[in-house]
Amino acid sequence: MNKINHIAIIMDGNGRWGRKKNKSRNFGHIKGIKIIEKLVKDSIKIKVPILTFYTFSTENWRRPKKEINFLFKLIDHYFFKEINNLVKNNIKINIVGNIKILPKKVRLRLIESMRRTNKCKKILINLAINYGSKNEILEAVRSMRRKKVSTSVKNFENNLYTKNLPDPDILIRTGGKKRLSNFLLWQLAYSEIYFVDKLWPDFNVTDYHRVIKDFKRVKRNFGNI
C-alpha cells in the first residue's frame, strides 16, 4: 500500500461555480476557502503530512484587476482572522512562489504567518502564490550560476521553491480541465494525477478519500519495469 507524503491540488472552478450560482466569481472564491479548510482538517485526521494548494499563478495577473484585488484582500483577511487558530491547531504555513511583487500588506501578512507558524508540526500547508513553474525553473538555473555550483539533479532541486520537500505523490485537479497549467512541472514527474470533473467548491471529503483510496492501490514504478 502506497504511503502518502504530499498531495498537491489545483483548485480550478471557483469563478465558474460562482457564476453557475448566479452570483459573482468572487462568491466562488469565498466558498473555495471553506473547501480548503475541510480538506486540511481531514488531512490532519488521516495523517497526510503535506498539502500544496495552487492559490495564485503568475498567469492569474491577466484576470480583471477587481478580481485580483479581491483575492488578495481575501488572503489578507483570512490570515488576519485565523492566524491564532492555525498556531493553536499546529498548522505550519509556507509560501511557494515569488511574493516580492505582491501588495505590501499581503506580503507582510504572509511573511508574518510563516513566522508565527514556523514551529508548527501537525501538517504543512504550502500555498503557491504568484507561482509559475517555468519561472521557478529559470530562477533555479540562474541561482545555480550565481552560486557557481555544478549542474546536477540534486543541486537543481536545492534551488527550487520546494527544496527540502518531497515531491507530490498525488496531484488533484478539479474543474474538468486536463492540464497542469504551469504547476510544479519538475516535481510532478512521477506523481499520480487525478482530474476531477467537479468544480472546486463542489469537491468534498468523500471525493478526496476516493482519490486517496485509488492511489493506495496503484503500482508505482518510477520508470522501472
pLDDT of residue 225: 60
Domain definitions of the chain by residue range: 7-217
CA distances to 15, 35, 47, 114, 189 from 211, in Å: 24, 16, 15, 29, 18
Q: What is the pLDDT along the chain (225 residues), one digit of tens a residue?
A: 889 999 999 999 999 999 999 999 999 999 999 999 999 999 999 999 999 999 999 999 999 999 999 999 999 999 999 999 999 999 999 999 999 999 999 999 999 999 999 999 999 999 999 999 999 999 999 999 999 999 999 999 999 999 999 999 999 999 999 999 999 999 999 999 999 999 999 999 999 999 999 999 998 877 766
The residues carrying an active-site annotation are 12, 60
Determine the CATH number of domain 7-217: 3.40.1180.10
Q: Give pTM, 2 decimals.
A: 0.95
The beta-carbon contacts of 27-34 under 8 Å, at least 24 apart in sequence, are 28/199, 28/200, 28/201, 29/70, 29/71, 29/74, 30/74, 31/201, 32/200, 32/201, 33/74, 33/78, 34/201
Nearby residues of 30 by Cβ (< 8 Å), 6 or more positions away: 74
- Which residue, 181, 86, 124, 119, is CA-closest to 7? 124
